[in-house]
Structure 1
Amino acid sequence: MSITLRLIIGGIVFAVIAGAFGTFSLYNQSHALSLAMGIHDDAVVPLDRLTVAQSRVERLRDRLEMSFASRESGQRPVLSDQEKTLFTQGIQDIKSELVDVFDSDLSEKAIFVISGLRYPLSRLSASEGNLSQHAVLTQLGELSGSLSEASQIVRNDLQTYRNSADTQIKGSMWLSLIGLGSIILALLAFAYFMARAVAGPLRYVTSVARTVATPQHCDPIVPRGPKEIATMLMAIAQMQSRCASLAETMSHRTTALSGQLAEQQDQLSAALNNMTQALCMLDGDKKLLVCNEVFKYYFGEHALGTSARVFLRDPRLTSPLPRNETSVILMETERGEIMEVKRRGMTGRGLLITFEDITERQKIAEKLEHVAGHDGLTDLPNRHSFAADVDELLARRRDDFVLLVLDIRNFKSINDTFGHPIGDALLVQSGERLMREVGPKATVARLGGDEFGVVAPGIRLPEVAEEFAQSIVAAFAEPFDIEGRRINAGLSVGLIHVRPSEIEAGTNADILLQNCDLALYQAKEAPRSGFRMFQPAMRERLRDRREMELDLKVALENDQLELFYQPFVDAGRNTVSGFEALLRWRHPVKGMISPAVFVPLAEETGLIEQIGTWCLQTACRQAAEWPSGMTISVNLSPVQFRSPTLLSDIDSALAQSGIEPKRLQIEVTESLFLDESDNILAILQAFRKRGLTISMDDFGTGYSSLGYLSRFPFDKIKIDQSFVRDLSRPENIAIVRSVISLSRALKMNVMAEGIETHEQMQILYDEGCREMQGYFFSKPRPGAELAQMTAEIGQRWSTDLKLTRSAQREAA
């Protein structure tokens, strides 16, 4: 028989017994409940009502006695109306209490006594109080005695009921205990039966399973016992067979894997020992598990299991890491190698650590970092590094400091005259001289080109800052000795005194350097070396300059620019030979603005190309309306020569106006040749091929005029007005005479500009200069007034423009 069937049969039997016991218990409980209800309804309730009725009778009698006793002597012994009401109401209350008692199932004796109460109660109720005092009290006393007798009888009956109920309940309890004991005995018998039937076979199964789990040989398994256990033993027998087969297979595989593991071990060892990095592995107790040959080279031979504290002195290297979390540390070995240590957390708080020797890489990185932060020529900090130092001083908000931007005066001219190697050497020596002058606490940097920066902390007063700047300027008064040449190179300095505690929020190095640049611009405008301290008004001028830049763009769009013309006078022929176009800006609010103000701004912003093209087109278009013998002269800025469209712009202006190329005169200044001279000469050659007239303006004020006269034959030289203005000085006359002689020798025309008096005109004429220009002949005037201007000059040849006969004979 199977265990399942045995359990089912045992369960059914146990259920039947439990059901019978439950039914018996339910019957006993129902009988006990019935007894309790009978006692309550037939004894307890009537007794309670009788007791209440008796107490009502006693209270009514007491109240009436009190009422009778309070009467005055002589009154009639009958009840008053109030006493009648009290009496009648009291009898009704007593009757209501006895209604349930009359209907109760009491003993015969109790029923007899209680039935005897009906008549007296009815009689008293019917009298409605029309009785004498004595009769009322007598009747109430008898009624109270009858109620007391009835209560005693009911109380005795109640005790009888209780005794009977106790006897029946005790009998039921004993029967319940006997039934419960029978159920427990049956359960124990069933458990014993199941244990006997199942425990033995299960012990056998356990023994067989333990034998199969061990690698020892075991006898074949014989299925026995209940059906389920027999099935289990058959399954264990099959598992025994499979385990034997699996053990044989695993033996073969283990042998094969041992060979592969040994091979992989050799490969791993080869890989570890051929790594360029040192490697070690530590267990959770920070003891050595694995290491390679490179590790032994750097840290020595150590047996496996050695504590890491023996060979890794830095506690950061052995600090625990969560699993798979990494960290990178830089360390230096006892021999001076710089190691990049990479650590990875392992299971059980172990560590995998690799050490890479980055000594050379670190040196290269430091060198690259130095190169990134320093100027390649002077080895001084560059602008980026210098700005970082200034920002750091601002962040400290502790020490006052002075910031200076320095520019070597005329460096471009020196570089162009002596060559770039000399210029580079000058920059190097300038940096060295600055470092000697400012001292070790200050920082010197090359900001770019010929600009240097200096930041000096600890200077608390603006007056001391100015003295500091003056000392630097004075240090550059001494010429530089470069390859046997003594080269003078002055300084222009812009500086600002900074109190970090008072600085506005958001101020950084770029803003301070910009302020220094504003001061430097003013210092560079001075004729000699010097310095300027930054003032807030300079930034206001910068704002005005930006506003002017925007207004200039608007002026181009709204035709606010116009050309004025100043005549070229041929004193030999007493005629006007042409005009120079002079740019003017008629601002709608500020009025007429001088070109000396807005042309430099246009050159810096790049607007000069657009303005120059407009000037060329406008001047050529208006010159087309003049007599064919008159020339038109247009000034070109050096910036325009960098434009790739300059030649095409000139070709377009000539084509649109239709004037002959020889009537267009291009005026250039000597500053044009300071940079990219070969390119400039190529453009001038292109002008010459087109038939244009080329004039050098302001001749004699530059550094290399004669050199370029020899390389390019100009058509005309204009003597600068600075020599013409004071011809009373012999040296000026000598210069003018030399220029005129030079122009004749080179077969170039010569013109004097800036003539303001008849005396100047007479002297120049006597020296052989025929073409003249200046306010003495006419101020620049709009194009609409040129005819009137020409007529006025023609009338003056016989008056204030007339030259003396002797001067004319000498000139002839």
Structure 2
Amino acid sequence: MTQTLADLIEEDIPQQRQEPLSGELRTLYLKEGEGARRKAARQGLWLAVAVYLLFSIIDIVLIPDVAAYTIAARFAVSATALATLEMQSRLGFKTQWLDFTCATALVSGYVAWLVPAITTGYTQNFSYFMIFGSIFMMGANLFFRFQFLLSVISSGVILVACFVALYLFPSNGPYQIALGTFYVSCFTFTSYVNWKLNEERYNVFLNALEARIQHKEATERGQALLSLSRTDPLTGLENRRAIDEKLRDYWSEWQRFGRNFVTILIDVDFFKKFNDCYGHQEGDRCLILVANALSDLIKQHNGSIGRYGGEEFIVLARMEKKEQVADIAEAIRCTVENLALTHEQRRDGISIVTVSVGAAFTRMQTGAKLEKIINEADRALYLAKAGGRNCARLFDPSDPQSSDESENIAALLKIAIGQSLVSLVYQPIQNVATGRVEGVEALMRLRMLDGTSVPPSLFIPVAERTGAILELGRWAIRTVCCELLADDHVRVVSVNVSPIQLKTPGFATSVAAILGETGVAGSRLAFEITEGLEMEMHSDILRCISDLKLLGIRIWLDDFGTGFAGLSWLRLIEFDTVKIDRSFLHDCGAPRGRAMLQDIIALIRNRGHKILVEGVETDEQMALMREFGIDKVQGFHVGRPAPAGSFRMKPTFHNSQTTVLKLA
């Protein structure tokens, strides 16, 4: 049975509550009530003494013959009791000693007054005055917060003193019976009320204790839930939610107080291949080891680290200067490299686990938003990957590949197909020998929401960096097949593909699916590989090209001469056609440029490839192409780009006729 999050929390929090024993509860009750009892003892005694001394007036009125003695006794007992209580309080005596002093004061006050008062000659007055002795009994039971036993003993002593006085005082039997009954009733009633009050106080304490325990448990559960919701379960690092909250705090402090910080994104290189080769358990172990090593490093810089994705981590750290960023980024890279975790499935000459690091430092900019610094770190990470991985890059706003404009284009590309912001136009290609137009080249166009055109030189690199080229490429292949090939308006299409597409697993399969959907044979497609783009020389690309050839698709090499890998690719792959970049034709006005073009043509011809020259714009250039024996040309002299409708005609081309699709 699958465990829910609640089950996990239940396991994390101890469920067996340790109930305290009765004796422990009593001890805790007395301990927690000490503060209230100490306060009640001091305030109660001072108030009781004040009332006790005021009764001196009654002494003068009712028993004037012994008033001097009773008043002296009152002041003596009061002074002694207050002095003793204050001394105990200042010296920190336990609360029970303060209670004992108050109880003794009550008993002493009653007895000290009673002894001289009983000798008075005003017997009738005294018989009435004795009723007020019950006040001392009530004080012991109700006025102070004595423990029940101390209250009963105190009021009991007062009761005994009363009966002694009744015995010694010359009075008749009915009076003694009536007053004695009154005192017993008062003792019983006040003792019962005192017992109930103590019991109620204890129950209130128990309820409060239960409420505190429940609140503590609820708090612990809440903290456990919060901890689980903010912690990555695999690595124990903060998860994306927690790190996002911390990022907002960092950002707020930078906005308010100017405290600079760095955001660093870390991606484990070729982690998918590691997982596929060694298994997911080893993959998890790899991430844990990397996380622990990085966590130890970041603690030294008083920063925070969290897991931001599958194999991606994020670091936040406050730094004063931009120069410090490069040091921590390189330290991160070296830390993982020094772990020397084996990774034999890499094809870049490195056999250990490494990371790519992208960092962004806070900088003053108009309209800055929180997401900005994350996007900048992400773009720096992309450049680190594009730079060969196992390296660190700091975001540079002056780099065209990291500019804000490219960020806007990246956002536009996400909605380009759905909003019909991309389209294709076609430019004809002419056979030099026959003079006939044998095909067309399809050019991709992108416009912004306001209709402004975006140059291919801007949006194609961004599409490759963000991965949008994959969806755009599939859309372009399907569009050309539907617009020109399905109804036999043209015979062959060449699609300019990016190395990113060739390295993507399943690319050849997706092309086969499009051909199946549109009913177009693979032999009617030819894909162009642009030499100007950096291409990794590994088996994934070569295997993909081989799969495409099995589908019948022809492979062209585009923009030959503009990059550094052209000769290597001519050696590795049998291209059907090689396209020479227009810059070599335009340089033919000088003898050196003309000689270079002739050398390139000779090199390609010796390899047995057909040659297409781009950028033919004048009659003189066309004549030169005839002189050099070029197979095909393209340029404004042959025809300008036009919509697909201009080429929808009855099929009149021979099998060799060609249509070219270029994502540029």
* TM-score, length-scaled by structure 1: 0.35
Find the structure with the greater CA-based Rg: 1
